[in-house]
Structure formats: C-alpha cells, structure tokens
Amino acid sequence: MRSKLTVVAWIATAAVGLIVAACGGSSGDKTTSSAQSSQPAALQKGSTIRLWVMNNGPQPVQDTKRIVQGFERQTGVNVDVELVGWDVQFDRIRNAAVSGGGPDVTQAGTTQVPFFAALNGFSDLNGRIKDIGGKGAYAPGIWQTTQLAGQNGTFAIPWFTEARAIYYRKDVLEKAGIDPATAFKDWDSFQQTLQTIKDKVPTIDGKPIAPFGSPGKKAFDLVHHVMPFVWDAGGAELSSDDKKSTIDSPQAEEGVNFMAGLIQKGLYDKSMLERDGTQVENQFKGGRLAVWIGGPWVLGSVGRTDDTTWVSDARKNVGVAPMPAGPSGKGFTFVGGSNLMMLKSTKHPNEAWALMKYLSGDAVQKEYANLMGMFPARLVPQKQVGETDPDHRAFYSAIQQGRTYAPIPQWAQIENAYKNRLGAILDSAAGQGKPYNQSSLAAQLHDAAQEADSLLSQTTG
C-alpha cells in the first residue's frame, strides 16, 4: 500500500513539473503563423477568428456578435467575440503581443497603438490597406493614430471615433434662463453658465443638482478631460518634435488652472473626484449633474431602454454643445476612439483581415456606430451620422476640431505620468492634500514634465 502511495506521490510531482512547463508555452508558436500575404486568398471556411473588444456600450459582446453575423454568413468563418475590460486591456494586449498567445484581432485605444506597434507583435497592414480605400478614406488626424513615429508602416485600421463634448440638461438651463446657443461659447460664458446654475437652480424637482462634475485620478481618461483646456490656452503636451514635455509651460498652466479654478469656485462638485469616469457619467444620467463633459456613446444610450442608469428627466432633457473656446480662440477637444490591430501570431491572417475589412465597410461602420453610440471612423459614414440631428452635429463638429497625441511608443506611459500629477492638482484644488496655489500648481506640472522627459529619454540600450 505504502509503495503504491509513493508511486502516486512521485507521479503528482512529475505532473506538477509538466503542467508548469506546459504553461510556459512554446516559443515556436510565435513565429509559425506570422507570415501574411497581401494577395487575396480563399478563406478557410469553419475557421474561427478570436476578436477582443472592450466595453464599448451597454451590451458590447452581444452587439458585436450581432454585427459580425453578416460576416459569418458571407464567409463561413466563425468569430469568437471576447470582452476585455478597459481596466485590464492594456496589460492583456501587451502580454498577447509579447507572448504570441492571444486573439487574432484586437480592438485597441487610438493612443495605445504606437506602443503596441513598437512591441513588434502586430502585423504591418501596409500591403492590405488599399482594400479599404487607403488613408484617403479617413480624416488625417484619425489615420495618424494607425502609425508609429519614425516607421513606415500601418499597424492598425481605424474602427470607430469619439470626441468629447459638453452635455447639459436643457431643463436646468431653461430654468436658469440661459440660452444654450451661447452658454458654452467660450471659457467666460462656460464659467458664467455654471455660476448661474449654482445660484438659480440648486435643485430641480426637489432634488439637489450640482452645476458641473468631472472625474479625478480614478478615471483612466483624466488627461482627455484636462488637455482640451491646455490646448485652448495655446499649450501642448509635448514639443513639436516630440522630444520634450511642455506640460509645465505657462499656457499649459493656464489651462489646468482654469479647470482647477472651477473646483475652487464651488462650480465643480468635488465629490466627483472620488469617482471614476463611468461613475461620474452615471451621476449625470442619474440627474445629479447639470453639465458634464463626455463622449458620444452617452448620446447613443439615451434611446436604449436597456440602459437603466438614466432617470427619466435626465434622459428626455439631454443637450450637447461643442467644447468652449479658450484664450487661443479655439475650442479643442480630444478625438480618439478605437482601432483594430492584427496580431502577428494569428494562424488565419487572411480571415482576420477579411473580418477587419468587413468591419470597415461603410454600412457596417454606421450600424455599429449606432449600436455603440460612437462615430464611424470613415469620412463618408461619419458625415452621414453627423447630420442625424443637432446633438450629433455638435459631436461631428467636435471631431473636426479634435486633437490627439503624438504617435510615439512612450505616450501611454507619459499619459499615466500626467494623469497622476493632474489628479493630485485637482485634489489640491478641492482642499485635499497640499494647498493649491500658483506655485504648487507650477511645481506639480514641473514634476510631471520631468517624469515625462525621463520616459522620453528611454533608449533601447
């Protein structure tokens, strides 16, 4: 009996070793199928393409499955749609690119593409893009998000676009006696609108409502909320040659100070700084904020009864306006969205490309944009969606005024560094942590610039 148990124990030991060894995977996997052909090839019916998508709407997986049904019917290729949350997608896509063990196609944030491309785990699509009309089918700023500075390659194709605009409650503005047409024209009118709401409409239907709210350091996209004010003031995130941070310039300081000043004046509900982006979005939908800055997906969710975060008064009184113009005379906004990238490790490059091409069709882009509440990335369907109604027109105009960040591999890390410091600045303005004043603001931005410069100075050696 004892000898049998001994044998079992040794077998268990060997099994543990084998399992752990197997978890390591095979380095050969990475290269077996990285080759791709630019020639049209017959698609392998019955093959399965794994597609990673992020939380793009209330039902991201079901909606995407619905969209790709047409592709499955046409080609006989199956699509396995998997949800990867925004909170973990950066790590998972990076790991998939490095290990070679991931999906065939993945969605990626536009600002992340240069970093992922630099990992050398994604296919260069230059030989295929003529199938979707080439770069002429997209706005230059959007096409730029598929590139990697210093390299001649196309590492992604634009999938959908978003930009930030001002959401407001029509009933609150009406009660405050403010004309929506001029309420958010420039920084002064924006601030005056918030002040009037604070003075005249502290409650609506007996419930308290704050004039304005925006998330703090918990939001993954905090930088997208602050940078438009920096751009409005004539500032920039990096120097024109992308070699040095300019986040500590006087112009950038002015932009950040404007946003922090809203907190100090009591116009910006500081409790929103404790929340992440989705939680603040839900505060607007739940009727606790009169004005908020958000993306087009919220507009798309107004008509969706399966989005139960809306209270009825908020749902029926949504208005959208472009971002206010700053001292530079321009009202910039962040324009981003998501691209599609093909992993080099895919065993089905032709089928993967066929799926990407299908998702780039004008009709499919429009249908998906409607479902997700985003804008199509391609010029023609984008314009068509922009002409739907005044609210969509505001977003379409925002996209035209939109800016994005430099296509350099270090941007995601620099954005993180900025996010940390901007979060601390807004906390200070809310009376938490270090006292807020001009010199503490300058010091924080200087630290942010220094950190960004050290990230920019990273080398391969």
Write out the residues near another protein by the rule CB under 8 A: 2, 5-6, 9-10, 12-13, 16-17, 20, 90-91, 97-98, 115, 118-121, 216-218, 269-271, 273-276, 409-410, 412-413, 416-417, 419-420, 423-424, 427, 430-433, 447, 450-451, 454-455, 458-461
CA dist., res. 308 & res. 289, Å (int): 17
- Shortest distance in whole angstroms from residue 218 CB to another protein: 4
- The least CB distance from residue 166 to another protein, in Å, is 22
Where do we find the tokens 């209330």? 58
| Per-residue burial over 50-86, b = 16 or more CB atoms within 10 Å of its CB, e = otherwise | bbbbbbbbbbbeebbbebbeebbeebebebebeebee
Instruction: Using alpha carbons, select from 246, 255, 251, 190 the residue that is nearest to residue 228.
Output: 255
334: enclosing H helix or E strand: strand 333-342
CB-side neighbour CA atoms (13 Å) of 29: 15
Distance CA 310, CA 207 (A): 15
Q: Which is nearer to another protein, 217 or 224 (CB)?
A: 217
Minimum Å gap between C-beta 148 and another protein is 12
User: Between 12 and 363, whose beta carbon lies closer to another protein?
Assistant: 12
Residue placing its CB nearer to another protein in the complex, 24 or 136? 24
Distance CA 118, CA 225 (A): 26
Per the CB < 8 A criterion, the answer to whether 108 and 93 are in contact is yes
Q: Which is nearer to another protein, 76 or 85 (CB)?
A: 85
Q: What is the smallest separation between the CB atom of 46 and another protein, expressed in angstroms?
A: 33
Task: Calculate the alpha carbon distances from 184 to 175, 223, 255, 335 in Å.
Answer: 16, 21, 16, 19
Cβ proximity to another protein: between 16 and 83 the closer is 16
Residue type, 330: K
- Is there a contact between 391 and 166 (Cβ–Cβ < 8 Å)? no
Compare residues 194 and 412 and give the one whose CB is closer to another protein: 412
Q: Which is nearer to another protein, 98 or 363 (CB)?
A: 98
| Minimum distance, C-beta of residue 316 to another protein, in the bound complex (Å) | 24
Least separation in angstroms between CB 274 and another protein: 4
Number of H helices and E strands in the chain, helices first, is: 20, 13
Residue 265 corresponds to which tokens in the numbers above?
Answer: 């004046």
